[in-house]
Amino acid sequence: VKQLPVSKNPIEVRQLSQSFNRLLNRLNQKIENEQQFVSDASHELRTPVAAIRGHVTLLKRRWHEHPEIIDDSLSYIDEESLRMKGLIENLLTISRGNHLEVNKEKFNLTEFTDKVVSEIQPALSQKITFNGKSEIFVRADKMSLYKIIIVFIENAGKYSPQDSEIKVKISSENHQVELQVADEGVGIPEEEKINIFERFYRIDKSRSSEIPGTGLGLAIAKQYAQLNHAEVFVTNNTPKGSIFHLLMESIEN
């Protein structure tokens, strides 16, 4: 056992004990966060597992007399297992934290974003428009940026009316590039703007609504942003909705 420094000076003893307590509190907080993560993750996984088990039981009991339920149940099981797969992938991403692998390379962010927008457009009922100077170069991990842009656009789609518009914009100034995804949706109250980037956090309205989600998307976006020395945050759109921002360094062509 390592010998702790012994001091008879009461001021020194008090300082030492204060810093020891601070360390202990930080450690306790970390353990509590980890326990909360495991408990939230288990809770999220329980729902699709229960649904799959329910349908398997139903199939086992009734497929002889009612073969027509087979198709329905199988597609339900298929859907739920896909949801579970996505959830597990997200959980792994979150738990790897700063140890995620990134492969930085130089590329044109405008061209890249344009492609991502065209790829996701068919999956959304809203119209996505894209605006950006033709050449803005960054040095970053493409996969990270892909994930961040997808989370922003998918959320814009989930939390805004079907016939509204989603505007994606890229601008640059003083070696800084900013990517924005603006929607005309429900918006985010001021006091929730930091919380939504925490893992498993969902604003109560979306938690109780029919909008599917686990509260991991923005936590993953924040994690990928940090790995690329970028920043993510949200502001209000006027007159309605939110604007999600990604801010990072740009480089010369």
Residue 108 vs 164, nearer CB to ligand ADP: 164
One-letter identity of residue 56: V
Among 55, 167, 202, 245, binds ligand ADP (CB under 6 A): 202
Whole-angstrom Cα distance, residue 205 to residue 41? 21
Per CB under 6 A, which of residues 139..158 are in contact with ligand ADP? 151, 155-156, 158
Q: Largest alpha-carbon pair distance within the chain?
A: 85
Burial call 167-188: b when 16+ CB within 10 Å, e when fewer: bbbbebeeeebbbbbbbbbbbb
Binding mask 54-93 for ligand ADP (x = CB under 6 A): ----------------------------------------
Residue 55 vs 202, nearer CB to ligand ADP: 202
Residue 136 vs 145, nearer CB to ligand ADP: 145
Query: What are the angstrom distances between the C-alpha of 65 and each of 59, 71, 74, 77?
Result: 10, 14, 16, 20
Distance of CA 167 to the CA centre of its chain: 20
Q: Should residue 217 be labelled a site residue for ligand ADP when binding is judged by CB under 6 A? A: yes
Tokens of 52: 């799959």
Whole-angstrom Cα distance, residue 51 to residue 24? 41
Binding mask 159-188 for ligand ADP (x = CB under 6 A): x-----------------------x-xx-x
Minimum distance between the CB of residue 13 and ligand ADP, rounded to whole angstroms?
A: 46
- Residue nearest ligand ADP (C-beta atom): 213
Q: What is the 3-state secondary structure (H, E, C) of 111-137?
A: HHHHHHHHHHHHHCCCEEEEEECCCCE
Per CB under 6 A, which of residues 220..249 are in contact with ligand ADP? 242
Could you list the residues that contact ligand ADP (CB under 6 A)? 151, 155-156, 158-159, 183, 185-186, 188, 196, 201-203, 206, 213-219, 242
